[in-house]
Structure 1
Amino acid sequence: MSTNEGNDQSGDAGSDTGSDPQVLTFADLGISGPVLAAISDVGYESPSPIQAATIPPLLAGDDVVGLAQTGTGKTAAFALPILMRLDVSAREPRALVLAPTRELAIQVAEAFGRYSAHIPELHVLPIYGGQAYGVQLHGLRRGAHVVVGTPGRVIDHLEKGSLNLSKLDYLVLDEADEMLKMGFQEDVERILADTPDTKQVALFSATMPPAIRKISKQYLHDPVEITVKSKTTTAANISQRWVLVSHQRKLDALTRVLEVEQFEAMIIFVRTKQATEDLAEKLRARGFSAAAINGDIVQAQRERTIGQLKSGSLDILVATDVAARGLDVDRISHVVNYDIPHDTESYVHRIGRTGRAGRAGEALLFVAPRERHLLKSIERATRHPLQEMQLPSVEDVNAQRVVKFADSITESLSSQHLGLFRKLVEDYEREHDIPLADIAAALAVQSRDGENILMDPEPPVQERERRERPVRKFEGERRERHDDHRRERREDNRDSGPPRGKGGVEFATYRISVGKRHRVVPGAIVGAIANEGGLRRSDFGHISIRPDHSLVELPADLSRETLEALRRTRISGQLIQLQRDSGAPGHQGSGGGAGKPKKKYRDRDQ
């Protein structure tokens, strides 16, 4: 049996196992017909442990609670049984999947699309905050058999009357613990209560906190509990390396890696939105096919960029953690952690973007001298020591450049214009009596616009240290650490907006119509607003919860589309009616400088 217990968050099934009669197949689990044909088309035959344990009871009609880490193949575990039993003759939604984020909702919907490739009459529709209502309303009117959505947007459609769940047969709670952490517990319970009692429920979670246990007991009928533990938090088919490099030499180090490493496609992770744009621009200037993806990029542009990455017209994606969630592109062979993540979970999610569908993957981590403790934390948490590597030398880079130069000549020899240029060169040779080799060399220089093809030799170590540390050794190290901190603060400020005070975001205070009497907590406010408005957790400042309303500091430059989406957002079933706080008496807001918020919420870009 193929365990498939790496970091495949796409929920793809196991790898192709050939003709070994002893290996369990999806046909053995009861998957047949068009669904079996579809997963066979994409090359999957052997189920992962969570799939092998979950599919039979779901096919039998049982409710299921599945405890498994992200990346164990949960999507196929619930999608395949649903597709096997789904009635596509009706127009009303028959299956609903709730997901904590829009990225996961899109990813799950795409997986349903792959697995239903041979069921042309079946329609799958993702609905989530941040997308225009028109597209979703059109899809619901046309008829969607499977709806994949975030809790807030699902409730919004229920309130509008545009989503009818009265005929629902299947309900899935995907990453239920994450939904509760984001403050969606009341929304989830409301959806569960408003759906038919006869529905089949599958709940998947990485952990089983009391709130999840409560939901299981109250809304699931004698569920089958399945627990699958990964042997490691990182996939065995991903080679993990790290390299020691100071901040000021990162771009040079990355360039050497890109020139020497053989890669198909690559994701480079940085911490801030501004850094994605800056690094992508610098890479393009150096001749690499690179694009940025971050939380400010609209969904249509995101989809175009990912499509280019999938098709091969783009090779390098520079991304933040949030923007890359749910990204599933098989041809990604390398992940580079240009900026080291501050928590191991982010590291695991990042490197899980490679090594897809059983393929080998490469993960490289840049570590500055003062970040060694973060490297140790990652190794302890993942129980996987990373292998230190040396950066490619100047000689390595130059050797590769010579090879590429020779390859470009070989490729050009097949050009249809070769005859014309040969005649021009021969005429020049006769007229000027210049050897052909010199003419060819001159044309090569011309093609590079005067740029040298080879890197200059590295200066001696003493000279390099003198350039990088122009003061005494210890004072230089202290200044380097200070500059690093200042640089990161400056990047964070650029990422969030104009500076405020000592480097904070330029916030405005907004009033929402939920407060203590609605039993809201800061986590619920952050989860709902972040999900529906497409915001990061670092976009939140102070949160002050009052008896009948709350004051929330958000970026002052929210777009009109974001404001409209947030005005329609619900928390605990209540429209929040977000609006700028005037700071008038009774509001006690900070818009006019009065009132000091009682609570403070701070978090970094996930």
Structure 2
Amino acid sequence: MTFADLGLDGPVLKALDDVGYETPSAIQAATIPTLLAGRDVVGLAQTGTGKTAAFALPILARLDVAQKTPQALVLAPTRELALQVCEAFERYASHLRGVHILPVYGGQGYGVQLSALRRGVHIVVGTPGRIMDHLDRGTLDLSELKYLVLDEADEMLKMGFAEDVETILASTPDDKQVALFSATMPAAIRRISKQYLRDPEEITVKTKTQTSANITQRYLVVSYAQKVDALTRILEVENFEGMIVFVRTKNVTEELAEKLRARGYSAAAINGDIAQAQRERTVNQLKSGKLDILVATDVAARGLDVDRISHVVNFDIPTDSEPYVHRIGRTGRAGRTGDAISFVTPRERGLLARIEKATKQPITQMQLPSVEDVNVTRLARFDDRITAALDQTDRIEGFRDIIAHYMRHHDVPEVDVAAALAVVAQGDSPLLLEPEPERPRRSERFERDDRERGERGERRAGGRDADRPGRRPRAGSKPLVPYRIAVGRRHRVEPRQIVGALANEGGLSRDDFGAIQIRPEFSLVELPADLSDEVLDRLSDTRISGRLIELRLDTGGPRRRGDRGDRGDRGERGDRGERRDRGDWSERRAGDRADKPYRKPRHRN
């Protein structure tokens, strides 16, 4: 089957030829004819199955370029996915004249979006929060909308956008065509499809496993302290083109990228703290080959589709199977092969077993590349460099006379001259690694361990623990302050909705969130103390469950006895009198005790 067999023709087919698409995937073959026929669709398919083209191509095939108000709206859960979908539309519309596509997401200035909307756009791709903002401001006209797509609908509901999505659906014409795509079919998705879709055709693409069969999955058991060296050896021996290295925290992205650059690799970090413009430049560098390694948090796991990514490394293995599937799904896409390598510490073997069970696919254990493996690879690459240089016959001829002149005047054999030139080319860094030192015998290890344990015990007894005033803060952690938002238990919000909404609009990651307390009328959220004014402005316009959150610093104030975190009544215990100033309640207790008469204790003779 070809794309022409599905009913596509003209400029759209020409664009597909340009991007190298020959045969449609299963979801495309089933969905495109149905959408071209005008029916609503509910598509159930995992990420990486080609569903973006499944809805983008029918929309472009029927687009009316003369209409300046938006004809198609695509809702995506994250700005990364929104940008990916927007880029896909632009590729498929490369031979259509005058088609304007606009990404709309939190983190981008309103000015760019407003000016584009005033000029006129045909397709809008955006996140629910920012689309709701434009609807509230009256800057987005959906009165003539013909097509609406919900991409990764289950993920949008998990992030707390259910009410926003329903509000947007209700604000659009009744005769529009709706396509809903989801990896799962929870009850909320089923209810939305029954209420807002007209006799939809349900299309399910069944897969034997959640991970692509084109991806070779391996894992390496390694301690945390050895991870950087292990990654360096893997980079030495693996024949990779582009790579994403996933870590858990944004602090580690910067640290690891810097260590890789120090080892001679072109690496960059991407996380929630990096401005959107910089993130886009970094991804473009990865696509063009100016960058080979991207060190990222899960913020890049969705919506990043780069052909050059041949390897994904889980530097920190995820704690759940879903992020694992999304991470390794960045490689092996569109029929290409890929490699996924996960670092597993001895304590994380249980996580690995759960991922294998959920994905129904075994992950093969690999061994750490040895010094000999690295040296063999280095010699092979050195040979390749020599062979490539020998092919440059014109340049070699120019150097023959120079080498012959040197040999005549210094009486040095050719092989020694070649070796000397290799030293010059290699520089100060050695070509080969030194052999690994032999491991001590068992008895020697026991003696050394006993000696080290004794030294540690002496240090604890007389040093660090003797004068340590309290627990040290975790290295690299940011100070957090409480913010108050105007949604609480009465509005049926959950912590995951708060995290999803604030992370999406403010460009935050999970590491930016501290404790979350949901009260009846409001909630308290701990966020970094150094949030910029730009981020605070974006967050103040955020909606959760359809309500404006009215984000502001929590200034405290009197608390009722029993409120979580109010421990002022402990201020009178023993030598902790300095804690009396922890709240009005502790001050009242202290005052009550001060009014009571002092009684001298009795002593037995």
2:507 equivalent among 530, 534, 553: 534
- TM-score norm. by structure 2 comes to 0.84
SS of residue paired to 1:308: helix
Q: Which amino acid aligns with 1:513?
A: A
Q: Which amino acid aligns with 1:33?
A: G
Contact 2:47 2:329 in 1 (8 A): no
- The answer for unaligned runs of 5 or more in structure 2 is 458-470, 567-580, 586-605
1:179 equivalent among 130, 151, 156: 156
Q: Which amino acid aligns with 2:438?
A: P
Residues 467 and 419 from structure 1, CA distance in 2 versus in 1: closer, same or farther, beyond 3 angstroms? farther
1:381 equivalent among 358, 362, 375: 358
Map of 2:480 onto structure 1: 507
Contact 2:250 2:511 in 1 (8 A): no
- The answer for unaligned runs of 5 or more in structure 1 is 1-23, 480-489, 499-505, 597-606
Map of 2:248 onto structure 1: 271
Larger mean CA deviation between 457-466 and 446-455 belongs to 457-466
Contact 2:247 2:297 in 1 (8 A): yes
- TM-score norm. by structure 1 comes to 0.84
Larger mean CA deviation between 264-273 and 244-253 belongs to 244-253
- Cα displacement string for residues 252-303 of structure 1 (whole angstroms, at most 9, x for unaligned residues): 2222222222121122222221222222222222222222222222122211
Q: 1:365-376 counterparts in 2 under 5 A?
A: 365-376=342-353
Map of 2:577 onto structure 1: none
Q: 1:104-253 counterparts in 2 under 5 A?
A: 104-253=81-230
SS of residue paired to 1:82: helix
Map of 2:259 onto structure 1: 282
Q: In 1, Cα distance between the equivalents of 2:340 and 2:282?
A: 22
Map of 1:581 onto structure 2: 554
Q: Does 1:441 align with 2:419?
A: yes
Q: 1:357-506 counterparts in 2 under 5 A?
A: 357-412=334-389, 414=392, 429=407, 432-462=410-440, 470-471=448-449, 493=474, 497-498=477-478, 506=479
Residues 261 and 527 from structure 1, CA distance in 2 versus in 1: closer, same or farther, beyond 3 angstroms? closer
Contact 1:379 1:385 in 2 (8 A): yes
Q: In 1, Cα distance between the equivalents of 2:565 and 2:139?
A: 38
Larger mean CA deviation between 399-408 and 122-131 belongs to 399-408
Map of 1:351 onto structure 2: 328
Q: Which amino acid aligns with 1:396?
A: D
- Cα displacement string for residues 368-410 of structure 1 (whole angstroms, at most 9, x for unaligned residues): 2232222222222211112222333222221222232233344
- Cα displacement string for residues 227-268 of structure 1 (whole angstroms, at most 9, x for unaligned residues): 222121111111112222233332222222222221211222
Shift of 1:179: 1.1
Shift of 1:424: 6.1
Residues 124 and 589 from structure 1, CA distance in 2 versus in 1: closer, same or farther, beyond 3 angstroms? farther
Shift of 1:89: 0.8
Q: In 2, Cα distance between the equivalents of 1:222 and 1:38?
A: 32
Q: Pairwise CA RMSD of aligned residues?
A: 3.1
- Cα displacement string for residues 396-440 of structure 1 (whole angstroms, at most 9, x for unaligned residues): 221222232233344456498767766665665555544454344
Contact 1:63 1:200 in 2 (8 A): yes
Shift of 1:328: 0.6
Q: What percentage of aligned pairs have identical amino acids?
A: 66
Contact 2:49 2:334 in 1 (8 A): no
Q: Which amino acid aligns with 2:23?
A: S
Q: In 1, Cα distance between the equivalents of 2:446 and 2:485?
A: 51
Q: In 2, Cα distance between the equivalents of 1:363 and 1:330?
A: 15
Residues 52 and 450 from structure 1, CA distance in 2 versus in 1: closer, same or farther, beyond 3 angstroms? closer
Residues 56 and 557 from structure 1, CA distance in 2 versus in 1: closer, same or farther, beyond 3 angstroms? same
Q: In 2, Cα distance between the equivalents of 1:454 and 1:468?
A: 32
Shift of 1:330: 0.9
SS of residue paired to 2:244: strand
Q: In 1, Cα distance between the equivalents of 2:194 and 2:439?
A: 66
- Cα displacement string for residues 108-165 of structure 1 (whole angstroms, at most 9, x for unaligned residues): 1111112111112111111111112222222212211110111110011111222111
Larger C-alpha radius of gyration, 1 or 2?
2
Larger mean CA deviation between 70-79 and 326-335 belongs to 70-79
Larger mean CA deviation between 216-225 and 425-434 belongs to 425-434
Contact 1:509 1:589 in 2 (8 A): no
Contact 1:512 1:550 in 2 (8 A): yes
Q: Which amino acid aligns with 1:72?
A: T
- Cα displacement string for residues 493-541 of structure 1 (whole angstroms, at most 9, x for unaligned residues): 556x33xxxxxxx211112233455443433322221110111233222
SS of residue paired to 2:295: strand
Q: In 1, Cα distance between the equivalents of 2:444 and 2:86?
A: 56
Larger mean CA deviation between 565-574 and 528-537 belongs to 565-574
1:562 equivalent among 535, 540, 548: 535
Shift of 1:40: 2.5
Q: In 1, Cα distance between the equivalents of 2:213 and 2:201?
A: 30
SS of residue paired to 1:407: helix
Q: In 2, Cα distance between the equivalents of 1:513 and 1:371?
A: 39
Contact 1:589 1:595 in 2 (8 A): no
Q: Which amino acid aligns with 2:419?
A: A
Larger mean CA deviation between 513-522 and 582-591 belongs to 582-591
Q: Does 1:99 align with 2:85?
A: no
Shift of 1:327: 1.0
Q: Does 1:295 align with 2:268?
A: no
SS of residue paired to 1:544: strand
Q: In 2, Cα distance between the equivalents of 1:469 and 1:196?
A: 79
Q: In 2, Cα distance between the equivalents of 1:351 and 1:468?
A: 41
Contact 1:445 1:451 in 2 (8 A): no
Contact 2:50 2:334 in 1 (8 A): no
2:289 equivalent among 312, 328, 332: 312
Q: Which amino acid aligns with 1:179?
A: M
Contact 1:566 1:578 in 2 (8 A): yes
Q: Number of paired residues? A: 552
Contact 2:516 2:526 in 1 (8 A): yes
Map of 1:42 onto structure 2: 19
- Cα displacement string for residues 296-321 of structure 1 (whole angstroms, at most 9, x for unaligned residues): 22122211121111111222222222
Residues 271 and 571 from structure 1, CA distance in 2 versus in 1: closer, same or farther, beyond 3 angstroms? closer
Map of 1:572 onto structure 2: 545
Map of 2:597 onto structure 1: none
Map of 1:83 onto structure 2: 60
Q: Which amino acid aligns with 2:249?
A: T
Q: Which amino acid aligns with 2:115?
A: H
Q: In 2, Cα distance between the equivalents of 1:469 and 1:372?
A: 30
Q: 1:518-529 counterparts in 2 under 5 A?
A: 518-529=491-502
SS of residue paired to 2:273: coil
Residues 379 and 548 from structure 1, CA distance in 2 versus in 1: closer, same or farther, beyond 3 angstroms? closer
Residues 494 and 177 from structure 1, CA distance in 2 versus in 1: closer, same or farther, beyond 3 angstroms? farther
Residues 493 and 103 from structure 1, CA distance in 2 versus in 1: closer, same or farther, beyond 3 angstroms? farther
SS of residue paired to 1:336: strand
Residues 451 and 579 from structure 1, CA distance in 2 versus in 1: closer, same or farther, beyond 3 angstroms? same
Q: Which amino acid aligns with 2:153?
A: A
Residues 464 and 70 from structure 1, CA distance in 2 versus in 1: closer, same or farther, beyond 3 angstroms? farther
Q: Which amino acid aligns with 1:262?
A: N
